[in-house]
Amino acid sequence: MPFYSIFLLEQESEFSVDFVKYKSKKYSILFLSPYQNLKWFKSSAERLKLIQFHGDFYCIEYHKKEVACNGLLFNNIYLLPFIELNTITFEEIVGFTKKMQIESESEKRFSDSVLKSYLQLILAICSNEKDLRFNDTKIQQFDDPLILKFKGLLETYFVQERSPSFYSGQLAMTNSTFSKKIKAQFGRTPTQLIQERVVLEAKKLLHLTHKSIKEVAFELNFDDEFYFSKYFKKEVGLSPSHFREKVGISIAAK
């Protein structure tokens, strides 16, 4: 779907995002960007609340200073796609969603502005909570120098190097040992992470710039736009042109 989605999970849930399985505790909030693959395994539908918004309604890139959610709640391949909250904070956010529902059903003159304010408040609270929790557990999550080095290498070379053997070579590890290490840390193979990083960048370029599909393909080091389109469609489920058509070009586009 061409929407950013926020799921409020009151009960323990099991689901997969982009084919990676997760388990969340009670009072968790799940964040998805447009056209991420979601599958439920265990959830209580009557205890699940959903907020969806299009980038044209509220642009997380344009409001990045106010909510700081881009790259933290959304669009980060290294962090969990959900956050676990305490009961008080979770219920506070549920309260905001109820107010949003009432406001959306009204015909008041400034309803859109009020809805955006509630949404911005929810995103800001969640960004702050995730940032605090990430910093509290940062050492436990990424204390391994190898993991830190791999992240640095991937961010530097994902455009030029899409073979796991390049990264295992840079880390002086066998492909097998490297793959097991990365899978244990992130729940995905090195190949999957590399593909996700390329696709994330492609989505950014399609949404945040006016560059043509051909220019995006060239910038991401694809031989031609047809191969790029095939690669993108395999990972996302629709072509780059269709993705741009549905998601649109952001008001923050350069």
Name the domain boundary from 100, 117, 139. 139
Cα separation, 202 vs 144, whole angstroms: 29
CB 120 within 8 A of CB 58: yes
Q: Are residues 122 and 148 part of one domain?
A: no
CB 82 within 8 A of CB 34: no
Q: Are residues 130 and 148 part of one domain?
A: no
Q: Are residues 159 and 133 part of one domain?
A: no
125 domain-assigned: yes
240 domain-assigned: yes
Q: Are residues 157 and 108 part of one domain?
A: no
44 domain-assigned: yes
Q: Are residues 128 and 8 part of one domain?
A: yes
Q: 104 lies in which domain range?
A: 4-139
User: Model confidence over 81-124: pLDDT tens digits?
Assistant: 999 999 999 999 999 999 999 998 887 777 889 999 999 999 99
Q: How many CB atoms lie within 10 A of CB 136?
A: 10
95 domain-assigned: yes
211 domain-assigned: yes
254 domain-assigned: no
Q: Are residues 132 and 24 part of one domain?
A: yes
So what's the pLDDT on residue 139? 44
Q: Are residues 134 and 21 part of one domain?
A: yes
Which ranges constitute the DSSP H helices of 137-239?
Answer: 138-142, 145-157, 164-170, 175-186, 190-208, 213-219, 225-236
Low-confidence stretches of the chain (pLDDT < 50) are: 139-140
So what's the pLDDT on residue 136? 62
CB 11 within 8 A of CB 52: no
154 domain-assigned: yes
Q: Are residues 170 and 95 part of one domain?
A: no
pTM: 0.91
Cα separation, 223 vs 71, whole angstroms: 28
So what's the pLDDT on residue 72? 94
160 domain-assigned: yes
Q: Are residues 134 and 8 part of one domain?
A: yes
Q: Are residues 150 and 165 part of one domain?
A: yes
**Looking at residue 232, which CATH number applies to its domain?**
1.10.10.60
Name the domain boundary from 117, 139, 161. 139
Q: Are residues 167 and 134 part of one domain?
A: no
Name the domain boundary from 139, 166, 194. 139
Q: Are residues 174 and 75 part of one domain?
A: no
Number of domains in the chain: 2
